[in-house]
Structure formats: structure tokens, C-alpha cells
Amino acid sequence: MRPLVWFRSDLRVRDNTALHEAYQAAGDGVVAAFTICPDQWREHDWAPVRVDFLLRNLRDLSESLGQLQIPLLIVKTPQFAEVPGRLLQVAEQHGCGGVWFNREYEINEQRRDERVTELFERAGKAVHGFTDQVILPPERVRTTQGKFYTVFTPYQRSWIAAVKAARESSGLRCLPRPRKQKPIPARAGTVPESVAGFEGLRRPDLWPSGEQAAGRRLESFIAGRLKAYAKARDFPAVHGTSTLSPYLALGVLSPRQCLHAVLEANGNRLDSGSQGASTWISELVWREFYRHVLVGFPRVGKNEPFDLRTRQIRWRDDEAGFRRWQEGRTGVPIVDAGMRQLAQTGWMHNRLRMIVAMFLTKNLLIDWRRGEKHFLRNLVDGDFANNNGGWQWSASVGTDAAPYFRIFNPVSQSERFDPKGEFIRMFVPELAEVEGKAIHLPRDRAVGAAKWLDYPEPIVDLKVSRQRAIEEFRRVFER
């Protein structure tokens, strides 16, 4: 048996379930493949910075596989629809008896995998799918009634109990790097330097590629910042987060590796011990929860809100306001700083993601789906389940979402989490000379600002717009 290992969002050789299991089944070597689907990626709103990060990691993966004598074949096809036939051609060309892959949970990806399964089985070839993108399969954690959870806290309790049980039985161990195999008559493909249609931001200085870079980043976070994570993670001017999300999104690092690292630092405890460790474990659970919701309630993957009542929200048509938000020119410094960080780095601090999302959906009352799409088109860590879950939470349309009447005041958030304005000055340099607390709303607070400040007035009255949003949501929720 010669397995074909189909890589997707799992660009690593260590702790890769499909690769490990294929090795166990192989009697005549392993072949690997990756499918590049530009038109599909465009339909899924992939960002240029993400595609560049993927290609760089794909080159590192090809080199790592090459050291194991495993050729990585590059298959380019516009859409997912052509993937099953092309993969079968690869399997037949290289004498592969089946395909091994790690499961993905978005709707189009699941449909693609179903067609691959059907085509391979019809050809008499084996198909093996594995849980690898998450620590527990999304359908594994259920309520006592056997239903999918819709509230995070009880989900987290059940998830922790299930992980404890799994560790006692199987250990949820991290799988080792495979051994070098004997050469086989197949040559690795060439990973392109770029993909047409995805020209734009590239930041290899911020997001170095490869498993070693991801591992070093994880080690640095655990050793240096985990202890203070619970508090430091909310301050964007402080390097207090893990910045591992791009590596998790493409599977350059596995969630199991993250869990093992934090447990080792936390005395092997899942729900106690260091506050920083417990808080970071909760973030790993949120990642699992949003995939749980995506599988249990497929409508959230079809451009629909989880809370169907919110279909009735009368979102405003405000193209000028939306453009100002996109460009970081709203006149609200913390919002503008966050949006400019996204544009310049391909990433945004999580506290700021919530602030800018609430500003768009509540203060401007613009449809959350427009913000969701804009994020995906600019994020290096673009991950559908996480991004969709975060936007629906902020917009009060999702599962276990922020109550519609609890709306972040961006100025209060700025004063609390960027008290000296360090982050604002970093990304809104035209405010560099504004002193003291005036930095948080300079047009109202800086003396003589109208005459000398090259910065716009707020595009909306925060108090009035907040009340407008509350009234609109109340109309829907209390009718």
C-alpha cells in the first residue's frame, strides 16, 4: 500500500495525524499532495498576506518532507469542484491505494471531501479522514440531551471533562516526526512564489514561516508571557498575546502542541493553577467552540446569523461611513489604530477586534457581514469559524453573544487599555503630539485642535448612535 497524504490546513510534519497514520499503513512509501485553488480562495475572501504566508509555509513543508524522502506534489486547479478528479489522477499516476487527510469543517470543504470520498471509493481506493484541526471532534462534546452546545461556559466544562478522560485513556499525545523513508520514483512539485490575484501585503518580518519558527514562538510565549497573559492580553501596546493564530490557522502548529505546552507549564492542570495558563486554555477552547457551532448549526456558514431573530435588524446603508471605518479615518483614535494595524500587519489585537466590530455594528449600525468579509480579506490568520464567531458575538447576533445593550464605548476602552495612548501613537502618527488623555478623543479634548490637528472629527456621536442601536435591537428582541 502506498498512501497519498493530502495536506490542507495542516502544514507540518510533527504531530500530524494523517501523515502519522499513513506511515503506519505504508508498505511502499508515502506520497504527499497540496491543492492550490485560486478561484475558490477568492470566493472565500482569502487575504493576500494569508496566501503569501501559506506559500512560504508550503515551501518549508516541502523541504521538511523532502528530508523524509516524501515528494510534495503541487496540484493547481481553480475550484474545489475539480479537486476530486485531479487527486484521483495523482493517486493512480503514483500507484497510491488511498488518500489520507485531516478533516476540515467549513461547508464547502466538507462537500469537497465528500466528493473525494465518493470518487476514491468508487475507484476501489481507501479513504481515511482524521481529527487533527481540533483537540476534540466538534460533534464529540454534547449536552445531556445529546444536542450541540450554544453557550460557551457549559461547553467549556464538558470539553475539559472530555479532555481529561481522553488524556487518561489515550494521552492525546503529540505524534513524532516520521522517519525517513526509502526513495520512491516521484519528484516534488514547485511551490509558486505567488498566486495571481493575491498581490498585496507581505510581512515575512512579522510572520516567519515554518514549524521551527512556530515552535520558537510557542516556547517564547510559554516561558516569557504566559504567567501575565490574563491581564497583559488586553493591552495592545504590550506584547502580551501569543501571536500564534496564523500558525494555528494553517496548521503549522497543532492545538495539541499548544495544549501540551501550557499543561506542562501549569503543572498538568486544565482548570486550575496559573490564571494566565487557565485564561489561555480558555482561548483554545473558544477556538474549538466556534467549530462546534459551525458543525452543529451550519447556517452560520451560510451567511446567516445564529440568532434568526436578528434577520430583522434594519442595518444602515452608509458607504461613506464603511469606507472611513475600513481606512481607519473614523475620528475615534482607538478604532482607527486598530484598523490601520490590520492594514499594515495583516493582524489585529483581539481586544481591538471587538472594539472595531462593535463600533461598526452598533455605532454605525452597519451589517456585521461586511465587517466579517473585510477582516477575512486582510487577516494573515483568517479562519472562518473564529472570524465568524467573533463578528456574530460582537454584533449580538450569534450564539452566546454580547447582549445587545452592552456596547463598548471605544473611548472608555481606549482609556482603560491604552491609557497613555502608546498604541494609538504607533498607528495614528498624526496624533503623536497630542498630550495626556486628549489622545483618546482629541477633537473634543485637545486645546485648539480644530486649528492645528490633521485628524478628522468623529463620524458619529457615540452616545446618540449607541441609543439608536439599542432601540433597533430592542425592536427585534422584544417584539
Q: Which residues pair with 33 in a beta bridge?
A: 6, 73
Run of H or E residues at 76? strand 72-76
Contact 143, 301 (CB under 8 A): no
Beta bridge partners of 130: 102
Please say whether the dihedral angle defined by the alpha carbons of residues 128, 118, 58 and 135, taken in this order, is positive or negative: negative
Helix axes of 410-417 and 333-345: crossing angle, nearest 10 degrees: 70
Rounded-to-integer distance, Cα 383 and Cα 244, Å: 13
Note if 283 is an active site residue: yes
- 393 counts as catalytic: no
Which is catalytic among the residues 16, 368, 372, 378?
368
Is residue 266 annotated as a catalytic residue, yes or no? no
The one catalytic residue in 283, 304, 415, 457 is 283
- CA geometry: angle 237, 243, 246, nearest 5 deg: 135
Can 286 be counted among the known catalytic residues? Answer: yes
Give the DSSP letter of residue 35: E
The answer to whether the CB of 120 falls within 8 A of the CB of 127 is yes
> Contact, 2 vs 31, CB < 8 A?
yes
Q: Could you tell me which of 93, 78, 65 has the C-alpha nearest to residue 36? A: 78
Distance of CA 438 to the CA centre of its chain: 34
**Contact (Cβ atoms closer than 8 angstroms) between residue 477 and residue 349:** no
Q: Which residue has the cell 449580538?
A: 396
- Residue 6 is a catalytic residue: no
Name the phi and psi angles at 215, rounded to 5: -65, -40
Distances, alpha carbon 201 to alpha carbons 48, 53, 341, 344, 432, in Å: 6, 10, 12, 8, 25
Cβ atoms 83, 116 nearer than 8 A: yes
Q: Provide the CA 161 distance to its chain's centre, in angstroms.
A: 25
**Per the residue annotation, which of 108, 286, 304, 430 is the catalytic one?**
286
Which entry of 41, 46, 325, 391 is annotated as an active-site residue?
391
Catalytic residue among 82, 108, 315, 430: 315
Q: The C-alpha cell of 418 is what?
A: 491604552
The C-alpha atoms of residue 472 and residue 366 are separated, in whole angstroms, by 12
* Contact yes or no for 250/386 (Cβ under 8 A): no
Examine the residue annotation and report whether 325 is marked as an active-site residue of this protein.
no
Q: Which of 108, 304, 350, 409 is catalytic?
A: 350
Catalytic residues: 283, 286, 315, 350, 368, 391
